[in-house]
Structures are given as C-alpha cells and as structure tokens.
Amino acid sequence: NEGNEYFKEKDYGRAVAAYSEGLRRRCGDAGLDAVLLTNRAAAHFHLGNYRSALNDAIQAKKLKPTHLKAIIRGALCHMELKNFSEALAWCEEGLQIDSKEKKLVEMRAKADKLKVNIEAAWLLQCLSLWDPWREGAPSRFLCGERNIKLLVEPSAEEEEVSDGLAEISLDGFHPDSATGAKVHLDADGNLNWPVLFLYPEHEQTDFTVAFHENSRFIDHLMVMFAELPPWDLEKKYLPNNLELYFEDEEREEMYEVNPEHTLLQVLQHERYFVKAGTPTVLVFAKRSPFSKKYFSGKKVHRL
C-alpha cells in the first residue's frame, strides 16, 4: 500500500523501495508477490529502468502465469528495448488469456509494424554492405556470419607483396584471371572462393577460381597434383608430401594448415585475414632444404 501511494504521487524511486521491502518480507503468497513484482516493474518502467522492469515482469509471470498486468508490463518493456519479436510473443500470450485486451491488441499491431520496418532496414543495410572488392560478390554480412575477417581496403603497404614473398615471381600468374574471379554464393547457400596457391621454392603459382568453402585442401591438392608439374624436376610435389601455410603479416608469423581441413575452417582461424577477396596459401615440399631456410628466423605455428 505504501508503494502504491508513492506511485500515485509519481515518486517512483520510493515506490520501488517500498515494493522491494514488501518482497523482502517473504509472505509466502505467490499472488501477492506477483503483484509486488508487477508494481515494482511499473515503477522501474517510469524511471526508464526497462531491463529491471522486464526482469520483474518475468518473475511475476513465473509466479502467476495468468497475471495479465505482468504480461502487459513485460510486452511494454520489450517494446522500449526494441525487442519487437519478443513483444509480439508476450502480446500473443496475453491475448490467449483475454482476446479483447485493448492495450495488447494495439501493442501487437505496433510491434508487428515496427518489426517489419526493422527487418526492412536491416535488409537495406545488408545490401549497402555489398562487397566493394568485386562486383557481384556476396555481402560482407555473409562473411561476418561465418566469422571470416576481411581486409577490403588494404593500405598501400599491404598491397605490396610481403617481405617473405618478395622473391616470388608471378610471371606464371595471369592477373586477368584473378580479377575476373569472384567469391560467389551457390544455390545451396555456400560460398565459393577464388584461392591463390604460392610455391615460393619455384616462384610459381596456381589459381583456383571456385574453391567450395566446405571442400578440403587435400581434395584440391589431389586434383592439382594428379600429374607432376613441369617445374618439379625433383618430383617432390606429391599431394601427401606437401605442407600448407598462411602468413600473419601483422605479426610476421606463419601458421601451418591441416590439409584435411576445409577452406572455411582455415578462413575462420583467428589470425587469418582475407585480402582483396582472395584467400592465399603457401605450399612447400615436406622437410625440404628450401623450407628449412625459408622458415629460419620466423615464428612458425605448426600442427
């Protein structure tokens, strides 16, 4: 009663304190506790404490599932917190108790409209994030959902070949094929990436136009090296005799890649960053003198 008096006087802070004191008395009456919680939720609501108000409404509804005032208060809190889907759910729950409750009918209509507007705004925002690195590439939020980190606009320094790759000649690599390829979404909702393979020992490259994100590296290697490349005079580049790495240029560290892993697993590594829309992997023959020299002085994270 004291809390109600404060509430009428719009002294919501003291109302919260009074309702809280009532709850601390632990009367053992679930109905009365539900009322105290609902009233405290209303006082919190007027103070702008929407999260506290919602918590009280949730507790009140647990004590008394048919307590309509608690449901209305919870729905209002969700509206203020812009949780429109949750607000709709609370409205529907309340209307099952009283299908003609005016506040819930009006709030349901408002929540439904705002939910549609929010979803439309989200869609427009996603479209506005359509990746600039390639025309027609999937939007960045698809990569965000997969926890793939993109470097869309590399700096002038980043555009240069890193120190570790500076000696690699790209004569065998045709830029037109790279710029023409683009990451794309297939009919099953999977991303297919253009992937660049670098062979530092022989200053050679391979370019895979569409590497399915759920394909394993070993599967691609089996196809790529079904026949020995003409530059592999020592016949070392066999599918099961290769080591794959990616370079963390920021930290100047190398990470070994498990050939049994899929492209997506590698792209999701916490230190892998996709530059200009094209993942890059370095390939070495196992235990070769060149790889030992190449990694000398570098910090290498091996499997």
Residue 82: pLDDT band with limits 50, 70, 90: confident
Q: Please state the separation of Cα 92 from the chain's center in Å.
A: 30
Pull the structure tokens for residue 201: 């020992």
Alpha-carbon distance of 15 to 7, in angstroms, equals 6
Q: What is the pLDDT of residue 207?
A: 85
Ranges 162-166, 186-190, 245-249, 278-282: which has the least confidence: 162-166
pLDDT (mean) for 25-29: 89
User: How many other CB atoms are there within 10 angstroms of residue 119's CB atom?
Assistant: 12
Provide the residue ranges of all domains of the chain, joining segments of one domain with +: 1-112, 136-153+179-302
Which pLDDT value is given to residue 123? Answer: 55
pLDDT bracket for residue 189 (50, 70, 90): confident
- Three-state secondary-structure class, residue 261: coil
The predicted pLDDT at position 120 comes to: 61
Q: Which CATH number applies to 1-112?
A: 1.25.40.10
Question: φ, ψ for residue 193 (rounded to 5)?
Answer: -110, 150
Highest mean pLDDT pick, 9-18, 107-116, 219-228? 9-18
> Residue 173 has what pLDDT?
37
54-68, 144-158, 186-200, 254-268: which has the minimum mean pLDDT? 144-158
pLDDT single digits (tens) 219-239: 999 988 988 888 899 999 999
- Quick check: 122 pLDDT over 80? no
Average pLDDT of span 100-107? 92
**pLDDT of 63:** 94
pTM as predicted: 0.50
Range 136-153+179-302 has CATH code 1.10.260.40: no
Q: What is the rounded average pLDDT for all residues in the chain?
A: 83
Classify the phi-psi angles of 56: left when phi > 0, otherwise alpha if psi is within -120 to 50, otherwise beta: alpha
Rg (alpha carbons) of the chain, rounded to whole number: 30
24-45 average pLDDT score: 93
CA 119 to each of CA 84, 88, 92: distance values in angstroms, whole numbers, following the listed order: 10, 15, 20
